Amino acid sequence: MKHATIIGSGLVGSLWAIYLNKAGYKVSLLERRGDMRKQNLSAGKSINLAISYRGWKALDAVGVGDIIRKTAIPMYGRTVHSIDGKTSFQAYGINNQAIYSVSRGEINARLMDIAESSGMTELYFDSHCTGVDIDKNMSYFEHNSNGIKFEIKSDVIFAADGAFSSVRYNSMQKHDRFSYSQNYIEDGYKEILLPSNSDGSHKLDKNSLHIWPRGRFMLIALPNPEGSFTCTLFMPFDNHKYCFNNLKTKHDIIALFREMFADFYELMPEIADTWKDHPTSSLAIIRCFPWHYNKTVLMGDAAHATVPFYGQGMNAGFEDCTVMFGLMEQYGDDWNACFEAYEKIRKPNGDAVQDLSLQNYLIMRDKVNDPDFILQQKVEKRIHELYPDQYLPLYSMVSFSDIEYHTALEQGKKQDADMRDFIEKHQITPEMTEIAIDEIIHKALNKEILV
Amino acid sequence: MKHATIIGSGLVGSLWAIYLNKAGYKVSLLERRGDMRKQNLSAGKSINLAISYRGWKALDAVGVGDIIRKTAIPMYGRTVHSIDGKTSFQAYGINNQAIYSVSRGEINARLMDIAESSGMTELYFDSHCTGVDIDKNMSYFEHNSNGIKFEIKSDVIFAADGAFSSVRYNSMQKHDRFSYSQNYIEDGYKEILLPSNSDGSHKLDKNSLHIWPRGRFMLIALPNPEGSFTCTLFMPFDNHKYCFNNLKTKHDIIALFREMFADFYELMPEIADTWKDHPTSSLAIIRCFPWHYNKTVLMGDAAHATVPFYGQGMNAGFEDCTVMFGLMEQYGDDWNACFEAYEKIRKPNGDAVQDLSLQNYLIMRDKVNDPDFILQQKVEKRIHELYPDQYLPLYSMVSFSDIEYHTALEQGKKQDADMRDFIEKHQITPEMTEIAIDEIIHKALNKEILV
């Protein structure tokens, strides 16, 4: 029986085990941490995530989507909280398209369960990888507590061991001509749990992603099934008026929330007391190439860790599985050909999802408040509604399609320029009625092709 | 007595030991390799280097320059070898300014001798660093052959352990918010030793740096004191007509040299037989930040390894010593303040010397053959000659001054644009007489300020 080693039983590693089982592979799935199904989640990772089209596609292909859907909360758009406490809603798509807030731990646990229940995946916890012998397809581990060392030889090795991948660090980085970068952005983040009302209901509309955009920093909130919201404050570590290093006392924290997030502060006056429940964490973009040597390959964050601002980290990692599986069907056991095709296809997409993520930080923290952006988004969405076959806004390409990320990025740039021209040319203003805008669109779209 | 640990006894580490001795520090100088004074040089490093102004300045400050000068060969300019065998000479500066070809091993050995002879530097060979405890100023080593482990505690730790710095890798890279990149360029290099004539004389003019620019690749030659030249072929590894991966047989090598470097081939018809004397090596740019944590700091290639095309790698590393020493005099034992100032000053210069190096590859392999470039260089040099206080060409800023690299880079860009305008505006052509050009320059420089 063919045998694969997967290093890392996180979201991508666990899903990939299910795929490999389906393809007839026996899988050894090794995890540095303990069994998360028996313990609390580790710190430093956000406890909920947004699944969008690519994620569902990868889950549905192995029949896991419906299990996850049971606890997923649709978010149909952004609720933008202005500094004066007013809110406005910006739909993400048309026809009730949504991204879905899910619990990271819940998905991960279900994926492990399914992999294990196949009888073809063996899970090893508390076992950290000390290196891979790339020439021999041998991976080496040490048990965290008893220090016992062991090795696993297999036909192929998948490293899905995250942004700080030990396989990449121990066995690829020193390889001649391995390009690598880890770039921390200026900003960090801190999670804040906004509890439910006493009756278990949500304190904010649960069907949207809430944003308090404040230019150089922002607060966001995603709903959890049990009534709470996981909120995240993103801001620079230092060198700015509003930055983490200026939040030294409870007084500083309260002052920030009173001044900048007054409506949120009303919902959570205990904010300063819970401040230390979560660490302040950093954010990095990690790029590397190649993604494989011989029969050892990187997947997910190990290959292309990104900042979280497009909600595409997990979706991109799951799409790695979709693409890899397609290539396995094409190349069979010729792993070298498979991995070469995989990295050739996925590297530009990994780069693009990182560029898109950085770009979306500016949108979320600043532009969603900008009348020009709001108008442009409105016009784009309306064109998309009226002529869905002719126009797909960037957000829809990324979140509601599986158009390659790099195509979406390029196309998005072009569309952005075209749309500015369109609005200027037709002198569209925020005051214009919807009927008037529709008329302009119909007239234009019948004569000219926008994209 | 104050005690410093220096990891790496290469060029920068050995020179820095001399500086520290001068400042009253006892130095432990540790080297992963054996004592190079007792053995052949290790492969993979070019055996000669070009010293320019910054290097001499750093050496002269501790009285070492004159010892090195004894074997240094001045190169007053480039001798460009066209494909038809014609040569032309392009002076680097004015008034016999030169860069100096020196033996890497010779300099390194003399620096070690001087450090050792002070009685204040203790050298440890064959001892590789396994890590540094940044909080405790403790560094850990293991002897290569007997496996004995030992540790050194000191007041301060300098990591001058090269492009693949073990201190950076083992003790800094996993530090939160440590930005790091290693980017290999598409091209590699192979060294070739062109022997002397049988009477010990040089086969080419020994007072210039020889270049065979061929657009996408090039051959260069630097003179050695004993009559040979160290030549280096730079070309892409693959994906080009002329690339290392297309040089599989002796026939391929001979064909390349016959076709592209016919005059060189005549001097060295045995080229194909010596092909395997040196490996084909890769070229990387390594960037990181910060350069220090607590009292452990990176110097030289460990902080800012570059590609060799401006001949500034060693010069930049030596300048780190000049700057660090100046800051030590300013900050005394406040190493944290010293290192913060050092990295703040030197990081933009490390980045700039890398950008300049990449930029100079295009110049060396291609532009030195371009009539527009040759004309512009001629005009620039003449302005510099006539008005030395008003105009300094980029090459002179980099090689014959200690203007900060980042200033040279910015100023160079501006001057390049200005000079194109100047040549166009005054319709200067290659056919113009020197007198006519001088007249234009005098007329212009009295009225307008060029830079």
- Give the pLDDT confidence score for residue A46 in this predicted structure: 57
**Interchain contact, A184 vs B173, CB within 8 Å:** no
| A270 C-beta neighbours (distance < 10 Å), count | 9
Interface of A with B in 279-318 (CB under 8 A): 282
Looking at the complex, does the CB of residue A184 fall below 8 Å from at least one CB of chain B?
A: yes
Q: What total of structural domains would you count in chain B?
A: 3
Let me know if residue A147 belongs to a domain: yes
What is the spatial distance between Cα B321 and Cα B194, in angstroms, rounded to a whole number? 34
CA distances from A224 to A54, A103, A319, B123 (A): 21, 7, 24, 61
| Nearest neighbour of A282 by CB, restricted to B177, B181, B183 | B177
- CA distance linking residue A106 with residue B129, whole number of Å: 43
Nearest CA in chain A to B173: A182
Taking CB atoms and an 8 Å limit, are A178 and B184 in contact across chains?
yes
DSSP 3-state assignment of A13? Answer: helix
- Could you tell me if B173 and B112 lie in one domain? yes
Question: Percent of chain A having pLDDT more than 70?
Answer: 97
Shared-domain flag, residues B164 and B234? no
ipTM of the complex: 0.90
Q: Is residue A96 part of a domain?
A: no
pLDDT, mean of residues B260-281: 96
Residue A139 in any domain: the answer is: yes
B197 touches chain A (CB under 8 A): no
Examine the domain organization and report whether B287 and B242 are in the same domain. Answer: no
Residue B283's nearest CA partner among B151, B174, B185, B415 is B185
- According to the model, what pLDDT value does residue B446 have? 77
Are B117 and B227 contained in the same domain? no
| Chain B: closest CA distance from residue A184 (Å) | 6
Question: Are A303 and A323 in a shared domain?
Answer: yes
Assess whether B150 and B17 both reside in one domain.
yes
Residues B13 and B36 in one domain: yes
Q: Which residues of B touch A181 (CB under 8 A)?
A: 179-183
pLDDT digits over B155-174, tens only? 999 999 999 999 999 999 99
Distance between CA A90 and CA A99 in Å, rounded?
A: 13
Contact A164 B174 (CB under 8 A): yes
pLDDT, position B46: 57
Give the pLDDT score at A43. Answer: 41
Contact with chain B for residue A239, Cβ under 8 A: no
Instruction: Show Cβ contacts of residue A229 under 8 Å, excluding neighbours closer than 6 positions.
Output: A193, A194, A202, A203, A204, A210, A221, A222, A223
Express each pLDDT in B355-366 by its tens digit: 999 999 999 999
Cβ neighbors of A424 (< 8 A, separation 6 or more) are none
Q: Is residue A77 part of a domain?
A: no
Peptide bond into B74 cis (omega under 30): no
Tokens encoding B206: 């020994």
Q: What is the pLDDT of residue A450?
A: 57
Inter-chain CB proximity B179 and A178 less than 8 Å: no
pLDDT (0 to 100) of residue B392: 96
* Token code pair at residue A266: 């009303």
Q: Residue A40 has what pLDDT?
A: 63
The predicted model gives B127-135 an average pLDDT of 97
- Under 8 Å CB pairs connecting chains A and B tally to 39
Average pLDDT value for residue range B112-132: 97
- Are B136 and B98 in contact by the 8 Å Cβ rule? The answer is no
Q: Give chain B's mean pLDDT.
A: 95
Q: Is the pLDDT of residue B450 over 70?
A: no
Is the domain of A238 the same as that of A351?
no
Cα separation of A95 and A430, whole Å?
Answer: 23
Write the DSSP symbol of residue A42: P
Which residues in chain A have their CB less than 8 angstroms from residue B182's CB? 173, 178-181
SS3 label, residue A204: coil
How far apart are alpha carbons A372 and A436 in whole angstroms?
Answer: 18
Inside any domain, residue B138: yes
Q: What is the CATH number of the domain that holds A336?
A: 3.50.50.60
Instruction: Please choose, from the candidates B230, B248, B362, B242, the residue with its C-alpha nearest in 3D space to the C-alpha of residue B309.
Output: B362
- Chain A residues lying within 8 Å of B184, measured CB to CB: 176-179
Partner residue facing B282 (CB), from A177, A182, A184: A177
What's the full length of chain A, in residues?
Answer: 451
Task: Check if the beta carbon of residue A37 is closer than 8 Å to that of residue A331.
Answer: no
Contact (CB<8Å) A181/B182: yes
> B123 with B107: CB under 8 angstroms?
no
Based on the domain organization, do A354 and A396 belong to the same domain? no
Same domain, A47 and A19: yes
Specify if B169 maps to a domain: yes
SS3 for A113-171 is HHHHHCCCEEEECCEEEEEEECCCCEEEEEECCCCCEEEEECCEEEECCCCCCHHHHHH
Residue B400 within a domain: yes
* Residue B181 forms contact with A (CB below 8 Å): yes
Pairing of strands B26-30, B3-7: parallel
pLDDT in tens, chain A (451 residues): 999 999 999 999 999 999 999 999 999 999 999 999 987 654 445 588 999 999 999 999 999 999 999 999 999 999 999 999 999 999 999 999 999 999 999 899 999 999 999 999 999 999 999 999 999 999 999 999 999 999 999 999 999 999 999 999 999 999 999 999 999 999 999 999 999 999 999 999 999 999 999 999 999 999 999 899 999 999 999 999 999 999 999 999 999 999 999 999 999 999 999 999 999 999 999 999 999 999 999 999 999 999 999 999 999 999 999 999 999 999 998 999 999 999 999 999 999 999 999 999 999 999 999 999 999 999 999 999 999 989 999 999 999 999 999 999 999 999 999 999 999 999 999 999 999 999 999 998 876 665 4
B175 and B188 together in one domain: no
- B38 — contact with chain A (CB < 8 Å)? no
- Is B173 in Cβ contact with A182 (below 8 Å)? yes
CB B373 within 8 A of CB B359: no
Site of tokens 């730790």: B157
Of B315, B337, B360, which closes a domain? Answer: B360
- Is residue B82 included in any domain, yes or no? no
Burial class (CB in 10 A: 0-12, 13-18, 19+), A40: exposed
Q: Which of B177, B183, B237 has its CB closest to that of A179?
A: B183
* Interchain CB contact of A183 with B (< 8 Å): yes
B174 interfaces chain A, CB cutoff of 8 Å = yes
Q: Give residue B31's domain range.
A: 3-71+104-181+283-360
Distance CA B298, CA B134 (A): 12
User: In chain B, which residue's Cα lies nearest the Cα of A166?
Assistant: B174
pLDDT of residue B39: 77
Picking from B234, B250, B282, the residue at the C-terminal end of a domain is B282
Q: Which of A252, A282, A312 represents a domain boundary (last residue)?
A: A282
Task: Please calculate the CA angle A112-A191-A321 and round it to the nearest 5 degrees.
Answer: 30
Summary count for chain A: helices (H), strands (E): 15, 19
Q: How confident is the model at residue B44 (pLDDT cuts 50, 70, 90)?
A: very low
From chain B residues 403-422, the ones with a CB under 8 A of any chain A CB are: none
Q: Give Cα A434 to chain centroid, integer Å.
A: 34
**B168 contacts in chain A (CB < 8 Å):** none
Q: Which of B342, B349, B327 is nearest to B19 (CA)?
A: B327
* Helix, coil or strand: residue A382: helix
Looking at the structure, tell me whether residues A308 and A397 fall in a common domain. no
The amino acid occupying position A219 is L
